[in-house]
Amino acid sequence: MSNKSSFLEVKTLRKSYGRTTVLDDVSFEIKEGEFVCFLGPSGCGKTTLLLCLAGLEQPDSGDIQKRERSLARIPPSGRDVGIVFQSYALFPNLSVKKNIAFGLENQKKSKVEVETICAQLMTLLSLNEHEEKFPSQLSGGQQQRVALARALAVSPSLLLLDEPLSALDAQVRARLRGELRDLQSRLGITTIMVTHDQEEAQSLADRIILMNQGRIEQIGTPWEIYNEPATSFVADFIGVSNIFRVRSLGAGEFRSDSLEFRCPNHDKPHNEEVKLLVRPEDIVTSHTKTIHSFAEALVCKIEFLGPLVRLHTEASNKIKIVADLPKKAFEIGAVNLGTKLWLSAEPHDIKLLRV
Amino acid sequence: MSQFALATSKSPSSLPRERNDWINSTLLYLYGAAVLSAIFIPMAMLLIKSIQNSKGIYVGLANYQKYFQSTALFDSFYNSVLVSLLTAVIVVPTAFLYAYGLSRTCMRFKGIFRAGIFLPLLIPGLLKAIALIYLFGNQGIFKGVLFGGSIYGPIGIIAASILWTFPHAVLIITVSLMNADRRLYQAAEVMQASTWRAFVTVTWPACRYGLITSFFAVFVMVFTDFGIAKVIGGNFNLLATDIYKEVVGQQNFEMGAVISVILLIPAMILFIFERAAASKQASQITGRSLPLIPAVHPTRDWAYFLFCSLILLSILLIIGMAQFAALIKFWPYNLELTLSNYIFDLQGVGWVNFWNSIQMSLLAATAGTILVFLGATLIEKTRFDQFLRKFLQLSMLLPMAIPGLVLGLAYLLFVNNPNNPLGFLYGTMTILVISSITHLYTVPHLTALTALKSLSKEIEMVAQSLNTPVWRTFFRVTVPACASAILDIWLYIFLRAMTTLSAVIFLYTADTKLAAIAVIHVDETGYTAAAAAMGMLVVYACLVVRLLHYVISAIVLKKFQSWRH
C-alpha cells in the first residue's frame, strides 16, 4: 500500500461543544483503498470525526482534503461518501430493493441501470430472497447488509461506517466482520470504520487510529499498536498489560521497591522516572531466579482460559502482575495459590512507554 | 422539557449549506411569519386594547382599575375558580378509577368501555348542557334528585363540565398507567410487599404526574370554557361569560380585553405547571419496560365492571336524552315523536349552519393537518436556524394556554384594525378556519412531533449523503411513515372544529354562522328541542367521520404501513 498516494488528508482538526473539546488537533492521512478504524472508548470523539468527514458536522478549525481538494465548503451530498449508521437508519416504509435504489434514483439513472446495480448488490450481499421485504421483517445482520448495499449503490469513493456491527449478537458479528473485510478488498473502496471494540479493529483494519479524549494517541497497523504501544493508554486499551512505574539507574537498569529490570535496549539518564510495559504472555515463570527475572511474586488467583492459564500474582508493595502461561507450560500441582514464583521477561519484550 | 428537545442540540453554525438547507430555511422563515401573524400580533393587539379607551387613546391601567373596583370581578373570578376546582376534584379520581379499570384489571367488555369513553368527545358541550336541563331542569325527569336545588347555575355547569372533561382526563391517566414495568411488580411480589405497598411504591410514582397533568388540564378547560355556562349557567357569572357579555352584549371591547387578560394570566400559569408535570411524566417512559399483564381477581374485576358500567351508562343516558329531546314534539307535555325539530323554521337558523360547520371543519382539518405536519417537520428536521426553531417550538405550546374566547377576541380586534392589510378576512369563512386551526394547534403539533421523533434522525443524514432533495425524502419516507399520525391529526382537528365554539363566537357573520353557534341562538329563543336537534346533527356528522376515519385508517395502514408489525 505504501506506493499509493494520499487519498484523504485531515489537518489539525478541532471541534468543541461549549467547554468540552471533542476533537483536539487531529491530523492524519489515509491512502486509497485502505481500511482504517477509528478506535477508542465512548466519548473519545471518533463518531464526531466521522461525521465531520461526511459533512454532517462542522469542525471549528482545520481542514479535510480529499485528493488534495478541500472539503470545507462542500455539503454532504457533494462529498461522494456512503455512510452506514449503527442504527442502520433504513427507510422503514420502503422495501429492501427500494431502499437500495433510493440513492440511485437521485442520480437520474435509467430504470435498467437501477435494476442491474440493485441486482448485483443484492447478490453480492446475499439479499436476493429478501428483495420485497421491509426492514422490520429482517434480522439485524440482514438489515446491516441492506444499509451497506444502500451506501455502496451510488458507488461512493469513501465508505464511512459508524459502529456498524455493535448492535448485533456475537456470532453474527464475527461472521459479518469477515464478510465486510472480503467485500472491502474485493471492491477496493477506501473505508473508515468507527468502533470501540479493539478486537474488531484489530481483525479488520489495515491501520488503526486510536483516539482518547479528542486526541490521537497512536496511528499504526494492528501489529504496531499491540506490540509497540506509544502510551500507557494504548497499552491498556489494547489487550491486557502490566505497566510499571520505575526509576532509571542508567545503563538500561530500572528499579522500584520490589522490581528490577535489565534492558540495555532502553537507555535513560540516571534517576528519570519511566513507565515500562510487559504483556502477560511475555512473562516466563520459574521457581528460581534467572538472569531476566524482574520480580518475585505470590500467586493469588489462577484462571483457566482454555488455551492459556492466567496467573494473578502480587509482588511486595502490593504490585499486581498478570502472567499468561501456555497450557503446555503449566504444570498442575507445581503452582498453587500462595506459591512464590520468579517472573522474568526478555529485554526486547519490555517496552518503554511515552509518559 | 425533554420531549421538546430538538433533533440536533449541537450548533452546526458554519456547516456548508446546500440546496436542501436553503429550501428548509426559507420555508421555516415563512412558517415563522405565519406564526407571528396568527398568534403574536393578534395577542399584542388584545393587550394594547386593554390599555386604551373606546376611541383608541392610551389610558394606562384605567380600564383595569375600573374593573377591579367593581365587585363583579371578584365574584366571577371566585365562581370560575370554584367551578373549575370542584370539577377537577371530582373528575380526576373518577377518571383514575376508570382508567385503572381499563388498564389494570381483567373486567369484561373492556373494548366497549374503551370505545365508549370517546363518545363525549363527539358531542358539543352545549348539547350536554341541554340534555342535563331535560334531565334535571325545571321540567326535568329527575328534578327531585336535586332536592329543590337548581340545575341552572353551578351544579349544572359542574355536571356538564364533568361530562366534557372526563374523557380527556381518562386519556391522560391511561397513558401514565400504561407506563408500567411488569418486572417492578414481580420484584415487589418477590420481596413480599403487600398490595398496598406495591401500589404506593410502584403504581403511584409511575402515574402521579399523569394525575397532576390531568388535574391541571381539567381545571384549565373548565376555567376557560364558556359554552356550557352560557346554556346552563343561569345568572351564575364566570370570567368567560363576562367576556362574552361585555363584547357581544355591550360592544365594550376594552373591558372584554381586560377580562381576557385576567383570564389569560392564571390559564398561562396553570398551563406551565401542566407542561412541567407532563414532561416529568414523559421522562419516566423508557420504552424498555415489559408491559404489565393484569391478573384475574374476580371481586376486584366485578367491582370495576360495575363502576365503569355506571359511568358509561350515564354517558349514554346524556346522549340518549339529547337525541330524545330532539325527537319529541313538546317537552314534557306532548311526548309524540317527530322529525319537525330538524326543519329549523326559525329566522337566521337552518341547515345552512350545519353545512357551514361541515365546510369550516373540513377546511380547518385539511389545511390544519398540512400546516401542522409541515411545520413540525421543519422544526424537527432543519439543520440550521437553531434560535428560530427553539422559538417556534415553544410558540407551538401557546395556543393551548390561550382560552379560545380570548383568541377569538384578539382575532376580532386584529381583523377589525383599519391598518391591517389582512382586514379583508373579516366576516369570511377563512378567518373562522384560521382561528380554529390556531386554537387547536398544540395537540396535533405534539402528535406530529412524537411521530417524527420515532423516525431515526440518522435517516435524514443518510438521505443527505445520498444527495436526495428534501421533498423526496418528505414524500417518499416521512409522510408514508407517519400516515397514521397524520390521519389522527386530521380527525382531531375536524371533531374539535365541529364541536367547539369559543374560538369562533366573535368572528362569525350571518353568512358564516356555524351549527354550534346556531345551537346557542336557538336555545336563547326558547326552542330547546330545535337546539337539541341542531346539536344532534353535529353528533351524527362526527360519528360518521369517526367511522370513516376508522375505515380509511385501516386501508391506509394496510397500504403504507405493512412494514409495521
On the question of pLDDT at B13 being above 60, the answer is no
Categorize the per-residue pLDDT at B193 as very low, low, confident or very high, splitting at 50, 70 and 90: confident
What pLDDT does residue B14 have?
A: 59
What pLDDT does residue B73 have?
A: 76
CA–CA dist B397, B267 (Å, integer): 13
- B450 in reach of chain A (CB within 8 A): no
pLDDT cut 90: percent of chain A above it = 56
Q: Which of B455, B467, B564 sits opposite A106 (nearest CB)?
A: B467
What pLDDT does residue B290 have?
A: 67
On the question of pLDDT at A224 being above 60, the answer is yes
pLDDT cut 70: percent of chain B above it = 94
Q: What is the DSSP string of B334-401?
A: EEEE-SGGGS--BTTBSHHHHHHHHHHHHHHHHHHHHHHHHHHHHHHH-SS-HHHHHHHHHHTTHHHH
Q: Which of A73, A83, A135 sits opposite B461 (nearest CB)?
A: A83
What is chain A's alpha carbon radius of gyration, rounded to the nearest angstrom? 25
What pLDDT does residue B8 have?
A: 41
On the question of pLDDT at B30 being above 90, the answer is yes
What pLDDT does residue B2 have?
A: 39
- Mean pLDDT for chain B overall: 86
Shortest distance, CA B368 to any CA of chain A (angstroms): 25
Q: Give the model confidence (pLDDT) of A8-33 as tens digits.
A: 999 999 999 888 899 999 999 999 99
Nearest to A87 by CA among A39, A46, A146: A146
Question: How many contacts does A have with B, using Cβ atoms within 8 A?
Answer: 103
Question: Angle formed by the axes of helices B515-524 and B125-136, to 10°?
Answer: 30
On the question of pLDDT at B259 being above 80, the answer is yes
Taking residues A190-218, report their average pLDDT. Answer: 94
Taking residues A189-199, report their average pLDDT. Answer: 94
ipTM reported for the complex, 2 dp: 0.70
- B16 in reach of chain A (CB within 8 A): yes
Q: Give the model confidence (pLDDT) of A121-138 as tens digits.
A: 999 888 989 989 988 888
Closest chain A residue to B457 measured between Cα atoms?
A89
The 10 Å Cβ neighbour count of residue B395 is: 19
pTM of the model: 0.81
Chain B positions in Cβ-Cβ contact with residue A150 (cut-off 8 Å):
462, 466
Cβ contact (<8 Å) for A57 and B469? no
Taking residues B80-90, report their average pLDDT. Answer: 95
On the question of pLDDT at A294 being above 70, the answer is yes
Q: What is the DSSP string of A59-83?
A: -SEEEEEETTEE-TT--GGGS-EEE
- B562 in reach of chain A (CB within 8 A): yes
Categorize the per-residue pLDDT at B9 as very low, low, confident or very high, splitting at 50, 70 and 90: very low
Which is more confident, B18 or B440?
Answer: B440
Q: Give the model confidence (pLDDT) of B382-434 as tens digits.
A: 878 888 998 998 899 889 889 999 999 999 999 988 888 888 888 899 999 99
Categorize the per-residue pLDDT at B537 as very low, low, confident or very high, splitting at 50, 70 and 90: very high
CA distances from B259 to B234, B246, B264, B401, B403 (A): 20, 9, 8, 16, 12
Q: Give the model confidence (pLDDT) of B278-304 as tens digits.
A: 887 776 655 556 677 788 888 899 999
CA–CA dist A196, A211 (Å, integer): 10
Cβ contact (<8 Å) for B563 and A57? no
Cβ contact (<8 Å) for B456 and A91? no
Residue A198 · residue A239 · CB < 8 Å: yes
Instruction: Give the range among A181-190, B241-250, B329-338, B474-483 with minimum mean pLDDT.
Output: B329-338
Taking residues A288-292, report their average pLDDT. Answer: 91
What pLDDT does residue A107 have?
A: 82
Chain A positions in Cβ-Cβ contact with residue B465 (cut-off 8 Å):
54-56, 76-77, 79, 81-83, 151
C-alpha cell at B280: 416529568
CA–CA dist B298, B105 (Å, integer): 9
The C-alpha angle with vertex B56 and arms to B51 and B57, in degrees rounded to 5, equals: 70
Categorize the per-residue pLDDT at B210 as very low, low, confident or very high, splitting at 50, 70 and 90: confident
